[in-house]
Amino acid sequence: MDKIDSKLLRLLQQDASRTNPELAAEVGLSPSSCLRRIRRLHEAGVIDRIVAILNPAKAGRTMKAIITVELERHGEQYIRRFLDMATREPAVIQAYSVSGETDAILMLRLKDMDELDALTERLFREETNVARYYTAFVIRTGKETTEIPVG
Amino acid sequence: MDKIDSKLLRLLQQDASRTNPELAAEVGLSPSSCLRRIRRLHEAGVIDRIVAILNPAKAGRTMKAIITVELERHGEQYIRRFLDMATREPAVIQAYSVSGETDAILMLRLKDMDELDALTERLFREETNVARYYTAFVIRTGKETTEIPVG
DNA sequence: CTTGAAAAAAAGTGCCC
DNA sequence: GGGCACTTTTTTTCAAG
C-alpha cells in the first residue's frame, strides 16, 4: 500500500467508471501495471465492490430520517435481535448498535410518511423491546459520501 | 421507468462491475437495448455515479462514530455555517441538518481516538456556536448499504 | 520479481432495420 | 426493441530491465 495505491483508491472512490488507461495516466503508470495493482486491491479485499449510486430524489426516495433507539433490556442478545429485525427492512440503509445511552441508530430512506408509519409500527411494537425512540428528519444534506479517506 | 429499469437499477446498485451482456441476459434484453436503457438512466440522472466501495478495516479506518449536535443559536444561517464547517472535514462522511431538538447529525470514519480528538477540537470550540454534542461509537454494524429501494 | 508492450478476446458504440 | 459492423477496452502472453 504505497502512495500510488492510495491515489488509485481515492480516484476509484470518486469515479469507478474511468477506464484503466485513464487511471494509469493519472497515477503515472503503464496500463498493465495499473491494472495489476487494481486487481491486487480487489483480491486483498481493500476494494469491496463497485456499485452504482442513485440520485434519491429521481429514484423516488426523497425522505431521509435518522432514528435513535433505546431498548428496554440492553443485553447483547437483545441488541442483536433488534438490529437483525431492522436490517430486514429495505428502507433501512444503515443500522448500528452504539455506545452510550442510545442502543441503536438507524438511517432510513423513505418514499413518504406512510412508509415510515408502517415501518415504525413493525419495529417499535410492544414485543420489540424498545423503550424509547426518537425520529429526526433530514432537512438538509451537507455531505453524503461513500469515500473513506486513505493514505 | 418500468419493471426492467427497476431491475437494472437494483442490479447496478448491488454490483456495477457487471458487463452489459451479463446485465442484458439477466433482465432478458438484447445487449444493445440494455445499454440504451442504462445510458438513459445515466443521462436522466437517476444513476448519479459509479464508485468503488472500500473495506474500511482494510483501508485503515476502523472507527466509526455518530455525533448529534445541538447549536446555541438555531437560525438557518447558523446551521448552514456549522454544516459547511463539518463538510470540510475528510473524516466526516455524512453531515445532515435535522428536525427536532438536535440540529445536526454527523457520521464519522476515523483512524483512531486522536483523530476524533483533533476533530472535536476544531468543530466544537467556543466560537462554533455548539451548545451540546453527544458522541456515539459504533459497536456493531448490522447493515450498511448504498442501495436505495426501487420499484 | 516487477514493469512495459503487443496481440487476442471481449465489451461498448452507433447506425440500421 | 433487436441485429450487425466498427471502435475501444480489457485481458492474456511475452520479452526486457
Residue A102 lies in a domain: yes
Residue B117 lies in a domain: yes
Question: What per-residue confidence (pLDDT) applies to A52?
Answer: 97
Instruction: Identify whether residues A84 and A37 lie together within a single domain.
Output: no
Mean pLDDT of A3-10: 92
Question: What per-residue confidence (pLDDT) applies to B128?
Answer: 85
Instruction: Identify whether residues A24 and A82 lie together within a single domain.
Output: no
Each residue's pLDDT tens digit, A14-41: 999 998 988 998 898 888 889 999 999 9
Instruction: Identify whether residues A133 and A79 lie together within a single domain.
Output: yes
Residue B125 lies in a domain: yes
CATH number, residue B113: 3.30.70.920
Instruction: Identify whether residues A88 and A130 lie together within a single domain.
Output: yes
Q: Is A90 a residue whose pLDDT tops 90?
A: yes
Mean pLDDT of A119-140: 95
- The residues, ordered by sequence, that sit 6+ positions from A34 with a Cβ below 8 Å of its Cβ are A8, A20, A23, A24, A27
Question: What per-residue confidence (pLDDT) applies to A2?
Answer: 86
pLDDT band at residue B23 under the 50/70/90 scheme: very high
Residue A146 lies in a domain: no
CB B64 within 8 A of CB B110: yes
Question: Which residues form the domain of B121?
Answer: 63-137
Instruction: Identify whether residues A70 and A126 lie together within a single domain.
Output: yes
Residue A48 lies in a domain: no
- Is the Cβ pair B15, A49 closer than 8 Å? yes
Question: What per-residue confidence (pLDDT) applies to A128?
Answer: 85
Each residue's pLDDT tens digit, B55-101: 999 999 999 999 999 999 999 999 999 999 999 999 999 999 999 99
Each residue's pLDDT tens digit, B73-86: 999 999 999 999 99
pLDDT band at residue B39 under the 50/70/90 scheme: very high
Instruction: Identify whether residues A67 and A116 lie together within a single domain.
Output: yes
Q: Is A80 a residue whose pLDDT tops 90?
A: yes
Average pLDDT over chain A, rounded to an integer: 94
Q: Is A105 a residue whose pLDDT tops 90?
A: yes
Q: How far is the CA of B36 from the C1' of C12 (A)?
A: 11
Instruction: Identify whether residues B22 and B85 lie together within a single domain.
Output: no
CATH number, residue A32: 1.10.10.10
Report chain C positions within 7 A of protein CB atoms: 2-6, 10-15
Other Cβ atoms within 10 Å of B32 Cβ, number:
9
Looking at the 3D structure of chain B, how many domains does it have?
Answer: 2
Instruction: Identify whether residues B72 and B130 lie together within a single domain.
Output: yes
Single pTM value for the model = 0.94
Q: Which of A9, A47, A52 is the closest to B50 by Cβ?
A: A52
